[in-house]
Structure 1
Amino acid sequence: MKTFHPILIIEDDADDCELIESALDSIGVKNERKCFNNGQDALEYLQTTDEKTFLILSDVNMPVLNGLKLKEIINTNDKLRTQSIPFVFLSTSNSKKDINAAYDLLAQGFFTKPNSFGDLIDLLKNVTNYWETARHPIS
């Protein structure tokens, strides 16, 4: 991967966060990872850092501030919105309501967490390869 800005993993299940990090390691992603167990902590990081973010992988259902509300706040915050950070939902939710809400908020993807580690590796390989080659307004 050429873009070594951090990947934010927003996931309230510590085991899932570790699995995502292991899958990223397995495909050779060298980006630093920052894990947050709720959207509020991730939002505070995004609002206070000057560091660019490569990608946000967010669960939907979390305590304090869920992923949908976080995406909504990012969309209405000029500083964060204009950074055009790719925001991808990775959730156990398969609810049509959540999927529609995510795309209404202009999410760049919504994926159901795979049941196998191999499938998670394949999914994250596709997502990270896509965003590595995609052009961004601030790149």
Structure 2
Amino acid sequence: MSKVLNVLLIEDDVIEVMKLNRAISSLQLNHNVIEANNGEEALDVLQNKGELPDIILLDLNMPKLNGIEFLEVLKKDDILKYIPTIILTTSSNQRDLLECYKIGIAGYVLKPLKYEEYITKIQSVLAYWSINELKKI
């Protein structure tokens, strides 16, 4: 049985935030999406360790604290390091991909240009994590 996820979306592009929310709505999923515009804002959200997200969807290219910098901070925290973090980005740069896996991500998903393909990818990612056994902290 699938569970409702609390998803922290870290994305600075308003259009991309709207696209994810639209995809979840059109797929008729009941997941809760918490939004942060950059890594700094996301860390502020995560400081209240009482209600942590089940997964994090993270863009790499953001102002203030980019995705890789955010990951480095996240993975050094004894509690936050267990939250599965999936990169959701347009960057197909192999150095970014390798660096993210080295730090400890759960997945790396390229944002496709076509909305239909985006819907399929988001559906697959959320379906997997909604049936996966997640560590409750």
Q: TM-score scaled to structure 2, two decimals?
A: 0.92
Q: Is 1:38–1:65's contact at 8 Å kept on the other side of the alignment? A: yes
Instruction: Write out per-residue CA displacement over residues 6-32 of structure 1, whole angstroms, 9 at most, x where no aligned residue.
Output: 211111110111001111112222122
The unaligned stretches of length 5 or more in structure 2 are: none
Q: Does 1:69 align with 2:59?
A: no
Report the alpha carbon displacement of residue 49 of structure 1 after superposing the two structures with TM: 4.1
Q: Following the alignment from structure 1 to structure 2, what is the Cα–Cα distance between the partners of residues 36 and 68? A: 15
RMSD of the alignment, in Å? Answer: 1.6
Q: Is 2:2–2:131's contact at 8 Å kept on the other side of the alignment? A: no
Partner of 1:90: 88
Secondary structure, aligned partner of 2:56: strand
Aligned residues: 137
Q: Is 1:11–1:38's contact at 8 Å kept on the other side of the alignment? A: yes
Partner of 1:124: 122
Report the alpha carbon displacement of residue 3 of structure 1 after superposing the two structures with TM: 3.0
Q: Following the alignment from structure 2 to structure 1, what is the Cα–Cα distance between the partners of residues 125 and 58? A: 13
Structure 1 residue ranges, 4+ long, deviating more than 6 angstroms after superposition: none
Partner of 1:111: 109
Q: Is 2:6–2:32's contact at 8 Å kept on the other side of the alignment? A: yes
Q: Which amino acid letter does the alignment assign opposite residue 122 of structure 2? A: L
Partner of 1:47: 47
Q: Which amino acid letter does the alignment assign opposite residue 21 of structure 1? A: N
Q: Is 1:3–1:54's contact at 8 Å kept on the other side of the alignment? A: no
Q: Following the alignment from structure 2 to structure 1, what is the Cα–Cα distance between the partners of residues 27 and 97? A: 27
Report the alpha carbon displacement of residue 79 of structure 1 after superposing the two structures with TM: 2.2
Q: TM-score scaled to structure 1, two decimals?
A: 0.91
Q: Is 2:2–2:127's contact at 8 Å kept on the other side of the alignment? A: no
Aligned sequence identity (%): 31
Q: Is 1:47–1:80's contact at 8 Å kept on the other side of the alignment? A: no
Q: Is 2:8–2:57's contact at 8 Å kept on the other side of the alignment? A: yes
